[in-house]
Homo-oligomer: A and B are copies of this chain.
């Protein structure tokens, strides 16, 4: 990536199993491959996991075997280059703040709606990562005590109500009830109800299926309620909402905006945040990680 956020070259590999050494080896191969035509000043890693505050260690990753893994040192040894290690949601938020829908917003909150909810904040031009580096887990605010079980071990987390997974679960439940209103959804998966996902529902909604639109509306309302909670606490100027579920566009975001306006505490006596769709799509994470590594290598340390 260049200094303006333009991607110069891109390469992809599937994650090779979950062993840390293997993953490091493939990352090194990728950097080698990409360094063919360009001088690479620094390398940024945006990964799904909790990083320590200094950005050296992956404390925990839900999908890989990283547990207190000193990933940055390992990679710097392999790559002989400066490496910046960051959380993928932080990286995406940084990208939207630098080049996307949250450009220059002094108080930005980003939400990524995928299987769950990722979150990050850029406050006063800095990623706010909390005391130990694990801030931004907005998806795990409990908004329904005793509600749906969450992978995190709790019940009633926001992401169980406002995410792609939530949309899929609601649609499957409707289809299993064999409701007449669910027939389009059942048809779309040829009766294989386990194949109903949030993406299936989103696609049907865009093609006009009224039931799928209702389901998206329900998810949008939960989204808006949770954003109102975040606005009560954080008072951002802008929310940027990205992730796969945003393919639904305003079918999701309009109900979210209405629910946000209805549930915002102090409405009428305060300015309200605007809610924008992310601009950089699935590339936000890599753009943010690369830009953070560049900023960091220049010595304008982003880590406080």
Per the 8 Å Cβ criterion, residues 75-108 of A in contact with B are: 105-107
**Measured CA separation A242–B17 after assembly (Å):** 49
**Measured CA separation A204–B131 after assembly (Å):** 38
A232 touches B143 (CB 8 A): no
Residues of B within 8 A of A5 (CB): none
Q: Is A184 an interface residue (CB 8 A)?
A: no
A131 touches B106 (CB 8 A): yes
B270 touches A229 (CB 8 A): no
Given the interface pairs A235-B131, A236-B131, A270-B59, the reply to whether A265 lies near B50 with Cβ below 8 Å is no
B235 touches A267 (CB 8 A): no
Partner of A142 from B128, B225, B237, B269 at Cβ < 8 Å: B225
Given the interface pairs A141-B233, A143-B145, A230-B233, the reply to whether A107 lies near B130 with Cβ below 8 Å is yes
Residues of B within 8 A of A106 (CB): 131, 304
A50 touches B232 (CB 8 A): no
Q: Is A273 an interface residue (CB 8 A)?
A: yes
Residues of B within 8 A of A56 (CB): none
Q: Is A30 an interface residue (CB 8 A)?
A: no
B142 touches A263 (CB 8 A): yes
A273 touches B131 (CB 8 A): yes
Q: Is A124 an interface residue (CB 8 A)?
A: yes
Q: Is A26 an interface residue (CB 8 A)?
A: no
